[in-house]
């Protein structure tokens, strides 16, 4: 018998020990008892971190939508699968039952087929948080097409880069999107992006804002009329366990985003299992994750994990501050939310608002609170615990990554004793290790180091689309036989983990991962810019913000700095999106470099963070004199 649902601490320790002693048996039992398969696997796990190659449930055949939808129909067809809360509170919420979801997914899948989409084709999805977003993911999965969701806050250039990287054949978008009081011209962004893409044959457009948009003959079509004609029956494509399910791009240390590839069976098993345990999900719960499906959190814990458990999952189209800063709390009261999963940046922003926004709502339905995306500071943790959870809803501080597919380190609510800022203990099957500067694993407690994972888990990304070398290089080359996370962590005296932050060139702004390289590449396109370096520095609400140090070409000298700052941020918005704009821009005559010419971001980071007393030895720099000037003119 598998231990699918862990109920107390002793059971957790037993299950954890079993998962480490015999991982294959552990996952095999879970896969066997809690999912439907068209054919059983031949082997549970084959792996080699050197190649790297990881295969779970090889030989098995399945379709993830049969697990997320069809199997719930007999007993729970009338249960709400997706509860959609629109941007405007005056618009009615929509309840989509499992039966309706099945019909809508099948119709959509038939539309995809009628447009020539086949198994293995890539479909780019660029949609607001409306039901069609979740439905389009599932429709792709139904027919074995690989979805690549691009967060609808990315610019046309960023969208085009992602479409081209995986040669998407189709784009699914909307006429526009609502964000609070603003309407955004999504279709215009797609049109602009597609001038740089040759692989896209068709564009399906969902009507949302009724904005007047341009439709290109022979390429663009409104979705609804074709959907209306499509059959509500669509046979599920039978997939291999290791067939790709989706690509999701994340930032890296070079300009090109990394298209992380997740495959079918392992991803399904792990997201379902982790959802059940981390949220202690029970059949009548109403679960709400506020993330956007454009990020991994939305893929795993709005769509696949909850639906695989037959849960009711809430999708919210709007923003926490519209029509006022009580919107989250109003929605919790309105829908009697039981589990609420959000980001530290949202908590910090809302904690600054008047307490009336919170206290006027009845939050007594809540049982579990969650956070994800960045370290949560102690103050925000306490505010969340005291005012939202009223000290009776445990907070699960969940650590994981786009690459890990599912939650890796997290308390189990009501089971693991929580400590503010600690992600606490690994989930069953997850074997963390801390690595010291000498490259060796640090055993024992009260230690810190670089966080690695020693053994594969079912939802680990299998490759980077089109670039397996980069996958090996980024994740498996730093330490032998280990997956390197890019994060630092400490392990306290009882073995709890606390994630201390990135140890690479990724900066997390409002929960969004931003690589320094793509931003610097964008800035360097400005004709007046010679060179740039971006570092992060702390911010009350956003966690971190970006500080840019920029040297100008001769042609740029004497130009008005305020205008230059605006132009530089404009270029960043165009290349990446406004989430990557710089908070501060300091123009400087030089950037500190090593003798081999590498920019010393470490020094710039200390200056940006006002930690000048421990800059370390700068005498070995190529140009130590520039450091004084940079300090003097620090913003
Ligand atoms: C950070 C989001 C501290 C971390 C699911 C990680 C966290 C990166 C936490 C992945 C947490 C995520 N505590 N840091 N609870 N959760 N992070 O790919 O640096 O968008 O490597 O996945 O966010 O971000 P990603």
Q: How confident is the model at residue 271 (pLDDT cuts 50, 70, 90)?
A: very high
**How far is residue 138's CA from residue 150's CA, in Å, rounded to a whole number?**
16
CB 470 within 8 A of CB 258: yes
Q: Residue 596 has what pLDDT?
A: 77
Average pLDDT over residues 504-533: 91
- Residue with structure tokens 């008005």? 560
The answer to whether 544 and 508 are in contact (CB under 8 A) is: yes
Fold (CATH) for 507-632:
GMP Synthetase; Chain A, domain 3 (3.30.300)
Contact call for residues 423 and 410 (beta carbons, < 8 A): yes
Q: What is the mean pLDDT of residues 467-487?
A: 96
Starting from the edge strand earliest in sequence, which strands make up the sheet with 497-502, in order? 441-442, 432-435, 447-453, 483-491, 497-502
Average pLDDT over the chain, rounded to an integer: 95
- CB-based contacts of 2, cutoff 8 Å, min separation 6: 26, 29, 30, 32, 33, 34
Provide the token pair at 620: 């070995």
pLDDT of residue 1: 66
Instruction: Verify whether ligand 1 is closer than 6 Å to residue 297 (CB atom).
Output: yes
pLDDT for the residue numbered 594: 82
19/455 Cα distance (integer angstroms): 11
Residues 184-220 pLDDT 10s = 999 999 999 999 999 999 999 999 999 999 999 999 9
d(CA 64, CA 588): 54
Looking at 433-502, list the stretches that DSSP marks H as alpha helix, in order from N- to C-terminal side: 468-476
- Compute the Cα dihedral for 546, 296, 240, 268 and give only its sign: positive
Reported confidence tier of residue 2, pLDDT bands at 50, 70, 90: confident
**Res 63: pLDDT:** 98
- Ligand 1 neighbourhood includes 342 CB (under 6 angstroms): no
Residue appearing with tokens 């663009």: 220
Instruction: Find residue 123's DSSP bridge partners.
Output: 147, 170
Check if the beta carbon of residue 370 is closer than 8 Å to that of residue 342: yes
- What pLDDT shows up at residue 3? 80
- Torsion of the alpha carbons at 457, 460, 466 and 472, rounded to the nearest 10: -70
Identify the weakest region by mean pLDDT among 352-366, 456-470, 542-556.
542-556
Peptide bond before 618: cis, by omega within 30 degrees of 0? Answer: no
Contact 375, 488 (CB under 8 A): no
The tens digit of pLDDT for each residue in 95-105 reads 999 999 999 99
**What's residue 149's pLDDT?**
98
Instruction: Among 348, 502, 508, name the best residue to mutate to test ligand 1's pocket (greatest count of ligand atoms within 8 A of Cβ).
Output: 508
Query: Strands 80-85 and 94-97, how do they pair?
Result: antiparallel
In SS3 terms, 313-361 reads as EEEECCCCCCCCCCHHHHHHHHHCCCEEEECHHHHHHHHCCCCHHHHCC
User: What does the pLDDT average to over 112-140?
Assistant: 98
Encoded tokens for 332:
């919790």
Residue 214 in tokens: 């341009």
pLDDT at residue number 252: 76
> Nearest residue CA, atom 6 of ligand 1?
401
**Nearest C-alpha neighbor of 579 from the set 531, 527, 606, 543:** 543
**How much is the pLDDT for 554?**
84
Does ligand 1 come within 6 angstroms of the Cβ of 260? no
**pLDDT-above-70 percentage for the chain:** 100
**Pairing outcome for strands 177-179 and 182-184:** antiparallel
| Contact (CB, 8 A) for 513 and 250 | yes
> Quick check: helix, strand or coil at residue 82?
strand
Q: Which of 149, 372, 406 to mutate for ligand 1's pocket (most ligand atoms within 8 Å of CB)?
A: 372
pTM of the complete model beyond 0.85: yes
- Is any ligand 1 atom within 6 A of the Cβ of residue 397? yes
Atom of ligand 1 nearest to the CA of 397: 15
CATH number of 9-319+398-472: 3.40.50.12780
Q: What pLDDT was estimated at residue 582?
A: 97
Mean pLDDT on 408-414: 98
Show the 3-state SS of 251-286: CCCCCCCEEEEEEHHHHHHHHHHHHHHHCCCCCCCE
pLDDT in tens, 122-133: 999 999 999 999
For the chain, domain boundaries? 9-319+398-472, 507-632
Query: How far is it, in rounded angstroms, from Cα 533 to Cα 592?
Result: 10
Q: What is the spatial distance between Cα 106 and Cα 557, in angstroms, rounded to a whole number?
A: 60
Q: Helices (H), strands (E): how many in the chain?
A: 21, 31
Q: Do 522 and 607 touch, CB atoms closer than 8 A?
A: no
CB 589 within 8 Å of CB 632: no
Pocket lining: 263 vs ligand 1, CB cutoff 6 Å? no
Average pLDDT over residues 374-381: 93
Q: What average pLDDT does this structure show over 162-172?
A: 98
Longest dimension (CA), the chain: 74
* Distance (Å, whole) CA 232 – CA 431: 44
The reply to whether ligand 1 has any atom less than 6 angstroms from the CB of 411 is: no
**Coil/strand/helix, residue 511:** coil
Q: What distance in Å separates the CA atoms of residue 373 and residue 408, rounded to the nearest whole number?
A: 12
The strands making up 286-289's β-sheet, listed across from edge to edge, are 94-97, 80-85, 312-316, 286-289, 339-342, 368-372, 395-398
Q: How many residues does the chain have?
A: 635
Taking residues 484-491, what's their average pLDDT?
96
508 lines ligand 1 (CB under 6 A): yes
Give residue-wise pLDDT tens across range 567-625: 999 999 999 999 999 999 999 999 998 877 788 888 999 999 999 888 887 877 888 88
């Amino acid at each position: 018998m598998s231990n699918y649902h862990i109920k107390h601490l002793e059971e957790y320790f037993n299950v954890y020990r079993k998962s480490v002693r015999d991982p294959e048996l552990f996952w095999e039992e879970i896969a066997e008892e809690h999912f439907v398969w068209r054919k059983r696997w031949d082997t549970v796990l084959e792996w080699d971190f050197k190649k790297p190659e990881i295969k779970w449930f090889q030989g098995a055949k399945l379709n993830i939508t049969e697990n997320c939808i069809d199997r719930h129909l007999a007993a729970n067809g009338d249960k709400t699968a997706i509860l959609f809360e629109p941007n405007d509170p005056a618009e009615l919420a929509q309840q989509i039952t499992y039966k309706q979801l099945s019909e809508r997914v099948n119709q959509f899948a038939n539309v995809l087929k009628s447009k020539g989409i086949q198994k293995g084709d890539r479909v780019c999805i660029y949609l607001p948080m409306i039901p069609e977003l979740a439905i389009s993911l599932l429709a792709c999965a139904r027919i074995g097409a690989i979805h690549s969701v691009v967060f609808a806050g990315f610019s046309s250039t960023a969208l085009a880069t992602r479409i081209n990287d995986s040669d998407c054949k189709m784009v699914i978008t909307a006429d526009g999107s609502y964000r609070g009081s603003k309407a955004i011209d999504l279709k215009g962004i797609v049109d602009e992006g597609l001038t740089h893409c040759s692989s896209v044959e068709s564009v399906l457009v969902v009507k949302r804002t009724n904005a007047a948009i341009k439709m290109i003959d022979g390429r663009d079509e409104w979705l609804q009329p074709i959907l209306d004609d499509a059959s509500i029956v669509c046979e599920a494509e039978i997939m291999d366990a290791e067939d790709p399910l989706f690509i999701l791009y994340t930032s890296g240390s070079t300009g090109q985003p990394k298209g992380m590839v997740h495959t079918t069976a392992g991803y399904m098993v792990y997201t379902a299992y982790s959802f059940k345990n981390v949220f202690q999900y029970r059949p009548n719960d109403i679960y709400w994750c506020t993330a956007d499906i454009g990020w991994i959190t939305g893929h795993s814990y709005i769509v696949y994990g909850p639906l695989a458990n037959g849960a009711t999952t809430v999708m919210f189209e709007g923003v926490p501050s519209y029509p006022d800063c009580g919107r989250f709390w109003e929605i919790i009261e309105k829908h009697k939310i039981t589990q609420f999963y959000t980001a530290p940046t949202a908590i910090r922003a809302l904690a600054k608002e008047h307490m009336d926004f919170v206290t006027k709502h009845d939050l007594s339905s809540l049982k579990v609170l969650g956070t994800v995306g960045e370290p949560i500071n102690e103050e925000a943790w306490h505010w969340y615990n005291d005012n939202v959870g009223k000290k009776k809803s445990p907070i699960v501080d969940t650590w994981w990554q786009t690459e890990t597919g599912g939650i890796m380190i997290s308390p189990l609510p009501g089971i693991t004793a929580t400590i503010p800022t600690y992600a606490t203990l690994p989930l069953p099957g997850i074997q963390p290790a801390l690595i010291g500067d000498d490259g060796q694993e640090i055993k024992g407690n009260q230690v810190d180091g670089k966080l690695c994972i020693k053994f594969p888990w079912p939802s680990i990304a299998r490759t980077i689309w089109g670039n397996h070398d980069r996958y090996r290089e980024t994740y498996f080359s730093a330490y032998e036989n280990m997956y390197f996370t890019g994060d630092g962590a400490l392990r306290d005296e009882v073995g709890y983990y606390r994630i201390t932050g990135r140890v690479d060139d990724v900066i997390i702004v409002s929960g969004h991962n931003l690589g320094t390289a793509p931003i610097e590449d964008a800035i360097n396109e400005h004709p007046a810019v010679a060179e740039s370096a971006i570092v992060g520095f702390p911010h009350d609400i956003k966690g971190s913000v970006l500080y840019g140090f920029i040297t100008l070409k001769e042609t740029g000298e004497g130009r008005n700095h305020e205008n230059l700052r605006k132009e530089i941020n404009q270029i960043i918005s165009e290349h990446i999106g406004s989430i990557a704009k710089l908070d501060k821009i300091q123009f400087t005559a030089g950037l500190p470099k090593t003798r081999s010419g590498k920019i010393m971001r470490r020094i710039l980071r200390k200056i940006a963070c006002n930690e000048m007393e421990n800059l370390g030895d700068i005498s070995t720099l190529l140009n130590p004199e520039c450091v004084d000037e940079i300090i003097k003119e620090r913003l």
